[in-house]
A and B are shown apart, each in its own frame.
Chain A
Amino acid sequence: MTDGQEHDHDDRDHPVPTDDPEARARALQSLLVEKEKLSTDAVDEVVSIYEEEVGPMNGAEVVARAWSDPDYREWLLEDGTAAIDDLGYTGVQGVDIEVKENSPGTHNVIVCTLCSCYPWPVLGLPPTWYKSPPYRSKIVKRPRRTLREEFDLDLSEDVGIDVWDSSSEIRYMVLPQRPEGTEGMSESELADLVTRDSMIGVERLGGRRAGELA
C-alpha cells in the first residue's frame, strides 16, 4: 500500500484487515507453523532454490546450445519441453514450454495479461515490471510503441511483432537471434551474451555485434 490509507472497508468480504501486509504475513506464518501446516525447512528450501539455482542463466544455456547445435535448435523449436528437460530444466511453472524463435522479419515477446505466468525453470521468477499493470496492459495493444518507449527497442514496421499471452499452463520463451561477430565462441561465452530481457522479448540480440552487448 502506498498511500497509508486504511483499506479495511474496501474489500467486500475479506476475512481480516487489509492493511499492514508485513504483520499479516508474520501472523499467518506463525499460525501455520503452530498447526504444523508449514515447516521452516520447507520454506527455506524453496526460497533458496529460486535465489540460488533457478534463473535466467538456465535459459541462457538453452539458447547458447541452440545457437551452437542446429539439431538441438530444431528439437527445441519442435518440442521445447523435451529439449529443455534434456539440459536438466523442468518443474513448477514450466512443465510445458514452447520456444518461439526470432528472425530478421519476426520479433516475439511474452506476457501474461491475466496474472504473471512466466517460464520459471528457464528464466527464474518474473521481475516486478513483468507482473505489473503497465506492461500487462500495453504490450498486447501497442507492442511496437511499448517496446520503443519503455524498453528502447525501436523495431521498423517491416518487422512483424508476435505477442504471446500466456493464458494457459503452457509457458513461452523467446529464442533470440545469434549476434554478429560471435563465430568460434564457446557455448559458455555465448551464454554470457544472453539476457533475461532477450528471452522475454523486450530486447533484441539479432543484428547487434557481440561487442555492443553487455
Chain B
Amino acid sequence: MDGVHDLGGTDGTGRVSHTPTEPVFHDEFERRMFGMVMVTMANREYTMDEFRHAIERMAPAWYLDSSYYEHWLAAVEKLLVERGVLEAEELRERIEQARAGGVTVPERADPEAAEAMRAIVGSGGGTYRGPGDPAFEVGDTVRVRNMHPEGHTRCPGYVRRAEGTVREVYGEHVLPDSHAHRDGESPEPLYSVRFAGEALWGPDAEANTAVSVDLWERYLESP
C-alpha cells in the first residue's frame, strides 16, 4: 500500500536524534510491548508480515505522531481483535479500568513457556524456501514495475519504474504480499538490486552513491 510508512526519499522529516548508545528499553511500557509481541507472534497469533501490515494500516497522522512501540501496540490491538482472540468491547472496558488506575497485570507462571521462548528466539524462522528457478541472474538490468497494490508489499515506492542491476540472487523466499493477507507463503525468487543514485533521484542525486534493495521477482521486469 502507498502509505506514510514508506519513507524512503521523503523530505522535511527533521533532524536525526542520534545517540551513540541508549538503553535497550527506555521504560516498562517498552518492555511490556516487546514481550507481548514476541510471545504472541511466537505463539502464531499472527505472522511478522501481518504485524507489519497492521502497523501500515494505522492512520497516517497517527503513525507519524506516535513512538515505535506505540506502533506495536496499535498493531497487536488490531490483529487480536480481528482474529477474535479479544473482543473489542472487553478490550475497551479494560482500557477504561486501566485509565482509572484499576488494572494490575496478574502474574502467571509457566517455566516451559519461557524455555520455549528462548528456543524460538535462538532459532528464528527463516523465509528461504529453496533455490527455485530465478528469471534473472547477477548482472542483469531490471526495471521495477510501476505497481500500487492496496495491500501489503515490500517494494518501496522510491524504486518503482527505476532501472537497476541484479547484484545477488537469494533464491525463493516467502512473499510478504501474499503471506500478510493469509494467502499462503507463495515463495518467489528474491534479488538484491543495485540502483545508482541518478536512477532514483535524477539530477538531485548525490554523486557516487547507490542504493541496493531486496526485491521479489514479481516486482521486476526486463526493461
Contacts and interface: CB of A to CB of B under 8 A. Distances in A.
A146 B10 CA distance: 13
A132 interface: yes
Contacts of A134: 13-17
A16 B103 contact: no
Given A38-B39, A96-B170, 8 more contacts: A27-B91, A30-B98, A95-B125, A129-B17, A141-B158, A165-B214, A168-B216, A195-B20
B154 A114 contact: yes
Interface in A43-73: 43-47, 49-51, 55
Contact of B73 (A25, A93, A124, A140): A25
Q: Which of A33, A115, A158 has the most CB of B within 10 A?
A: A115
Interface string A121-150: 000110111011111111011111110001
Contacts of B90: 31
Interface of B: 5-11, 13-22, 24-26, 29, 31-36, 38-40, 43, 45, 52, 55, 58-59, 61-62, 64-70, 73-74, 76-78, 80-81, 85-86, 88, 90-92, 94-95, 97-99, 103-111, 113-118, 120-128, 154-156, 158, 168, 170, 173-174, 190, 192, 194, 200-201, 204, 206-216
Contact of A141 (B9, B113, B121): B9
Contact of B61 (A10, A44, A92): A10
Given A51-B25, A91-B124, A116-B68, A28 B76 contact: yes
A151 interface: yes
Nearest to B214: A168
For the residues of B in contact with A, the DSSP-based class is mixed
A91 B121 contact: yes
A207 to B, nearest CB: 17
Nearest to A202: B18
B68 A140 contact: no
A55 B58 CA distance: 30
B34 A50 contact: yes
B155 to A, nearest CB: 7
A205 to B, nearest CB: 14
B103 A27 contact: yes
Interface string A10-52: 1110111110111111111111111111111111111101110
Contacts, number: 323
B157 to A, nearest CB: 9
Nearest to A18: B62
Contacts of B40: 32, 37-38
B105 A33 contact: yes
A163 B113 CA distance: 39
Nearest to A24: B95
A103 interface: no
B8 A165 contact: yes
B103 A138 contact: no
B15 A27 contact: no
Contacts of B173: 168-169
11 contacts: A21-B67, A34-B106, A38-B108, A39-B39, A46-B38, A47-B31, A90-B124, A134-B17, A163-B209, A164-B211, A165-B213
A137 B11 CA distance: 7
Contact of A144 (B32, B39, B170, B206): B206
Contacts of A20: 95, 99
B209 A49 contact: no
Given A132-B16, A137-B7, A167-B215, A39 B21 contact: no
A24 to B, nearest CB: 5
